[in-house]
């Protein structure tokens, strides 16, 4: 007989039938004549009951010694039972203990610090396993959308010799005696590839050396970066809103069970549909000033300003056309408002912060050189990057999605680390 998944038992089609299940002991309560066991596999949890009279005597004895997280196979009959979680109970006829667990350190009422130290075990919790399954769907949906739209997935180096974003702090690596960095964005190695493939993306980690101890910052985060030829600012914003909407819809379609277990209302995600509202940076500064924030034109939009702009919103907001002094040298000059670039940041609802940073890219080599001179940087360091604009320079745009931030908003998590299997923050690289 084959093994049945717990989720399928709860689906009801096995009522009155005998099934074989395999998994871990989620909860156990042993009495003299009966053992109540909640069994967990990757698909869910189900109540099982082992009656002394119904199984072999030695097996009953063996089962009564089990601690949580022991590994078992059971065979039994599925009965509808309204008192059981999920509405079904399995009445066990046979049980085999494959591995006796030691005393599991994770019990109720543990501190966040303790759970993070025991991440390798905590990830078995219902909460974390549901979050990780939503994470999988976000990765899958992002790739599916981009493939459907004709993009090629590619790779870029994580070891780099130039900075990606000025101002960002980088992790230095001793590379055989030479100082290099862990990449903070793959953009600069992605752009040359669009001259070969026109539409490209990469899903990879980026590394941030800044000491930000906030709910929104990881030192290693997953970055979905997209570059597209023949694409201007308008086209770029459209691409971003379509991608985010597609991911939200896919998560509702394919992870409704997990969303329900996590207490997330799918209507929140279904509200995310193109077009997203847009606001110029100029207007955003006005709105923040009117709300009483001390902010001047030319300053970046940080946490407090983001909160003001998004606290009453249920959907995403684009802020476009930022001043040149707070954005990067590779962005396209905006002739309609020459102090600004043709760029955008996409803000998540209710203060979850910046999910995307994007721009049309400057395709004139001379302008990039001019931008670098203006900020006191040496164009020679970027020779290869500028070089791609010398041979059939094409209008193009791109953006980078902070995938972990997107998931944090999606599931209304308290901290960005809650959506990562093994998070890396300023204060944690263990386990």
Q: Name the segment binding ligand 4AD (CB under 6 A); options: 90-98, 217-225, 280-288, 374-382.
A: 217-225
Q: Which of 77, 198, 299, 354 binds ligand 4AD (CB under 6 A)?
A: 354
C-alpha 240/C-alpha 225 separation (Å) is 11
C-alpha 172/C-alpha 209 separation (Å) is 9
Closest contact distance (angstroms) between CB of 221 and ligand 4AD is: 4
Q: How many chain residues touch ligand 4AD (CB under 6 A)?
A: 22
Q: Which of 404, 407, 417, 418 binds ligand 4AD (CB under 6 A)?
A: 404
Q: Is 164 in the site for Mg ion (CB under 5 A)?
A: no
Q: Is 398 in the site for ligand 4AD (CB under 6 A)?
A: yes
Residue linked to tokens 């394919």 = 254
Quote the Cα angle for 396-397-403, to 5°: 150
Q: Is 423 in the site for Mg ion (CB under 5 A)?
A: no
Q: What part of residues 140-169 is at the interface with ligand 4AD (CB under 6 A)?
A: 164-165
| Beta-sheet pairing, 277-280 with 317-320 | parallel
Q: Which of 151, 181, 201, 221 binds ligand 4AD (CB under 6 A)?
A: 221
| Beta-sheet pairing, 152-153 with 44-51 | unpaired
Cβ count within 10 A of residue 146:
22
When the beta carbons of 88 and 409 are compared against ligand 4AD, the nearer one is 409
When the beta carbons of 76 and 357 are compared against Mg ion, the nearer one is 357
Q: Which two tokens stand for residue 138?
A: 């976000």
Q: Which of 26, 199, 223, 417 binds ligand 4AD (CB under 6 A)?
A: 223
Which H helix or E strand runs over 60?
A: helix 57-64
Short-list 61, 56, 59, CA closest to 32: 61
Measure Cα distances from 45 to 7, 23, 31, 136, 197 in Å: 8, 9, 21, 20, 46
| Beta-sheet pairing, 353-360 with 343-348 | antiparallel
Residue linked to tokens 């990449």 = 183
Closest contact distance (angstroms) between CB of 333 and ligand 4AD is: 17
Q: Which of 23, 44, 76, 358 binds ligand 4AD (CB under 6 A)?
A: 358
Q: How far is CA 307 from the centre of its chain?
A: 21
C-alpha 142/C-alpha 120 separation (Å) is 27
Q: Name the segment binding Mg ion (CB under 5 A); options: 91-99, 236-244, 350-358, 384-392.
A: 350-358
Which H helix or E strand runs over 127?
A: helix 126-148
Q: Which does 218 bind (CB under 5 to 8 A by kind): ligand 4AD, Mg ion, none?
A: ligand 4AD
When the beta carbons of 357 and 423 are compared against Mg ion, the nearer one is 357
C-alpha 74/C-alpha 322 separation (Å) is 61
Q: Which does 133 bind (CB under 5 to 8 A by kind): Mg ion, ligand 4AD, none?
A: none
Q: Which does 202 bind (CB under 5 to 8 A by kind): ligand 4AD, Mg ion, none?
A: none
Q: Is 356 in the site for ligand 4AD (CB under 6 A)?
A: yes
When the beta carbons of 47 and 397 are compared against Mg ion, the nearer one is 397
Cβ-based burial of 284 (10 A; exposed 0-12, middle 13-18, buried ≥19): buried
Q: Which of 357, 398, 402, 423 binds Mg ion (CB under 5 A)?
A: 357
Question: Which residues would be at the binding site for ligand 4AD (CB under 6 A)?
Answer: 164-165, 185, 187, 208, 217-218, 221, 223, 225, 354-358, 398-400, 402, 404-405, 416
Question: Which residues would be at the binding site for Mg ion (CB under 5 A)?
Answer: 357
């Amino acid at each position: 007989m084959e093994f049945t998944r717990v989720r399928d038992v709860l689906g009801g089609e096995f009522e009155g039938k005998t099934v074989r299940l395999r998994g871990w002991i989620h909860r156990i309560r042993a009495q003299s004549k009966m053992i109540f066991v909640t069994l967990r596999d990757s698909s869910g949890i189900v109540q099982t009951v082992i009656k002394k009279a119904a199984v072999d005597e030695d097996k009953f004895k063996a089962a009564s010694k089990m601690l949580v997280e022991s590994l078992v196979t059971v065979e039994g009959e599925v009965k509808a039972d309204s008192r059981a979680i999920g509405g079904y109970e399995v009445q066990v006829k046979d049980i085999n203990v494959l591995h006796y667990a030691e005393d599991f350190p994770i019990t109720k009422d543990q501190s966040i610090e303790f759970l993070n130290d025991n991440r390798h075990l905590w990830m078995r919790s219902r909460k974390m396993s549901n979050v990780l399954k939503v994470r999988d769907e976000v990765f899958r949906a992002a790739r599916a959308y981009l493939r459907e739209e004709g993009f090629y997935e590619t790779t870029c180096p994580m070891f780099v010799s130039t900075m990606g974003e000025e101002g960002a702090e980088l992790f230095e690596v001793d590379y055989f005696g030479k100082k290099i960095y862990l990449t903070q964005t793959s953009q600069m190695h992605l752009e040359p590839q669009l001259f070969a493939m026109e539409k490209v993306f990469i899903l990879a980690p980026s590394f941030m050396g800044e000491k930000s101890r906030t709910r929104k910052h990881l030192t290693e985060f997953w970055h979905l970066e997209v570059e597209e030829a023949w694409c201007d600012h308008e086209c770029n914003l459209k691409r971003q809103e379509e991608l985010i909407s597609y991911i939200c819809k896919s998560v509702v379609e394919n992870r409704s069970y997990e969303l329900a277990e996590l207490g997330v209302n799918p209507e929140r995600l279904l509200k995310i549909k193109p077009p997203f509202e847009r606001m110029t940076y100029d207007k955003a500064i006005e709105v923040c000033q009117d709300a009483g924030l001390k902010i001047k034109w030319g300053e970046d939009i940080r946490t407090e300003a983001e909160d003001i702009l998004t606290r009453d919103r249920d959907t995403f907001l684009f802020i476009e056309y930022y001043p040149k002094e707070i954005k990067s040298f590779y962005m396209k000059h905006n002739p309609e408002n020459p102090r600004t670039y043709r760029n955008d940041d996409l803000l998540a609802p209710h203060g979850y912060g910046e999910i995307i940073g994007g721009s049309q890219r400057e395709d004139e080599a001379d302008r990039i050189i001019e931008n670098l001179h203006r900020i006191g940087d040496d164009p020679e360091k970027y020779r290869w990057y500028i070089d791609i604009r010398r041979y059939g320079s094409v209008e193009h745009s791109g953006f980078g999605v902070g995938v972990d931030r997107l998931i944090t908003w999606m599931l209304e998590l308290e901290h960005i680390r809650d959506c990562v299997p093994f998070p890396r923050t300023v204060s944690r690289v263990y386990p």
